[in-house]
Amino acid sequence: MHYLLLILFISALAYGGWRMVRAYQARPQTRVIGPDDDPEFLWRLSRGDNKPK
């Protein structure tokens, strides 16, 4: 009986660890904002005013 409980406990730990690793790998990545995402940059570019602030 003790071996069965030990196997169940180790299996539960292994399953929990596997799920945590999978959740960590599937997390959303940070988003990089580029010039296409900045309407103010595009507005300045179209007006010829592209001097740094």
Q: pLDDT-derived band of residue 6, with 50, 70 and 90 as boundaries?
A: very high
How far apart are alpha carbons 13 and 25 in whole angstroms?
18
- The per-residue pLDDT for 17 is 94
pLDDT (average), residues 3-16: 96
